[in-house]
Amino acid sequence: MFRLVVFSALLSLTAVQALGQTSYELTDGGFAEVAVPEPGTPAAELAAARKLIAQDEPKKALKALEAWIEDYPNDPLAVEAYLLRGDAKAANGDFYKALFDYEEVITYYPASEQFWTAIEREYEIGVLFTTGFKRKLWGVRWLPADGEGAELLIRVQERAPGSPIGEQASIALADHYFNSSQMILATEAYDLFLINYPESELRQWALLRLIQASLARFKGPEFDGTGLIDAGERLRQYRDEYPAAAERVGVDALLVRIRESLARRDYASANWYDRTGENVSAALLYRRLIQEYSDTTAARDAVARLEAMGEPPVLPEDEGDE
């Protein structure tokens, strides 16, 4: 659903000619001419490092940026230097190490333009980590990084609530939980997305995924039915909001199946008391099942059991009121 922007491609969008008369930068409107800093200045050194990243020489850029930060720690352009150092590390494949520089920008320069760029970088790394990327250990990539990725996506939401990048992080986190079969977390994440972004274009997707995750939480009639109850409520909501899509999905049939499953769960509870000789409790639960799910096969089975026990399926009204 989301296309991860590869860092090498992302960083190469800035095309800088040899430091001289003219420099160009790629913007939404195409290449635009930008001012070239005076040679020998901190700004010129940063421009040279940026050029090295764009030329796919991140190691050289990293060395230059390390020296720059050591030489000019209090320069107004320090925030740009930290961002570029993170970019150089990311371009070199050291995404985890790059996070330290992006965190420096986010923590200490919240009013800067680079703040939002650093958040976008952390979002990209979060998506990368939650889609199978492995961290290095002893020079080999084999450590799963999905936990760190999820944490990054949570941070992005906390730091940019209500923003487009926060919305992307929110749905990416929910999709990660769903795809990794963490259905309780998935239902919580999709629910939070629907609350925080009620007008999102991804609302229908999130609502359908929430229903699927809720259904997946139900493990059988012997287990808790909360997921089924939640799924039923959301299916009715989905039918109200997206009637045409609901018909294609078969919402009405799903609601019937959910009702049957809930009835079968109650039957399993009543049958347990039945098998253990607790006839009073069993009869009470059978009758309650018949009253609540009268149109189900479980209700018919409950009637049969009550008849076998010599109990009426429904008590007279005066007895039921006592």
Residue 290 located in a structural domain? yes
Distance CA 290, CA 285 (A): 9
Residue 128 in tokens: 């990368």
The pLDDT score that the predictor gives to residue 219 is: 79
Determine whether 243 is exposed, middle or buried from the number of CB atoms within 10 Å of its CB (0-12, 13-18, 19+).
Answer: exposed
pLDDT > 90 fraction of the chain, expressed in percent and rounded: 73
pLDDT tens digits for 65-120?
Answer: 999 999 999 999 999 999 999 999 999 989 999 999 999 999 999 999 999 999 99
pLDDT classification of 23: cutoffs 50, 70, 90: low
> Domain tally for the chain?
1
How many Å separate Cα 288 from the centre of its chain? 40
Distance CA 311, CA 133 (A): 62
- For residue 183, which of 227, 133, 147, 126 has the smallest C-alpha distance? 227
Of 4-8, 127-131, 219-223, which one has max mean pLDDT? 127-131
pLDDT classification of 227: cutoffs 50, 70, 90: confident
pLDDT tens digits for 151-204?
Answer: 999 999 999 999 999 999 999 999 999 999 999 999 999 999 999 999 999 999
Distance CA 23, CA 13 (A): 13
Q: Which secondary structure element, helix H or strand E, spans residue 142, and what is its range?
A: strand 140-144
Residue 292 has phi, psi (to 5 degrees) of -85, -35
Distance CA 272, CA 144 (A): 43
pTM, 2 dp:
0.80
Residue 282 located in a structural domain? yes
Mean pLDDT of 19-40: 61
Residue 286: which domain range?
267-322
The pLDDT score that the predictor gives to residue 317 is: 62
CB of 267 within 8 A of CB of 221?
yes
Residue 173 CB neighbour total at 10 angstroms: 27
Q: Look over the chain and give the mean of its residue pLDDT values, rounded to a whole number.
A: 86
Mean pLDDT of 28-37: 63
pLDDT tens digits for 288-320?
Answer: 999 999 999 999 999 999 999 988 887 666 444
Mean pLDDT of 47-51: 94
Residue 284 located in a structural domain? yes
Residue 169 located in a structural domain? no
pLDDT classification of 39: cutoffs 50, 70, 90: confident
How many Å separate Cα 184 from the centre of its chain? 12
- For residue 234, which of 203, 262, 260, 265 has the smallest C-alpha distance? 203
**18-22, 123-127, 179-183: the lowest-pLDDT one:** 18-22
Q: Which residues contact 170 (CB under 8 A, 6 or more apart)?
A: 153, 157, 189, 192, 193, 196, 197
Q: Inform me whether the pLDDT recorded for 142 exceeds 60.
A: no
CB of 235 within 8 A of CB of 211?
yes
Distance CA 290, CA 262 (A): 12
The pLDDT score that the predictor gives to residue 114 is: 96
- For residue 213, which of 176, 242, 267, 160 has the smallest C-alpha distance? 176
Q: Which residues contact 235 (CB under 8 A, 6 or more apart)?
A: 211, 246, 251, 254, 255, 258
Residue 274 located in a structural domain? yes
Mean pLDDT of 49-68: 95
The pLDDT score that the predictor gives to residue 283 is: 94
Mean pLDDT of 140-152: 76
Residue 294 located in a structural domain? yes
The pLDDT score that the predictor gives to residue 20 is: 41
Residue 279 located in a structural domain? yes
Residue 309 located in a structural domain? yes
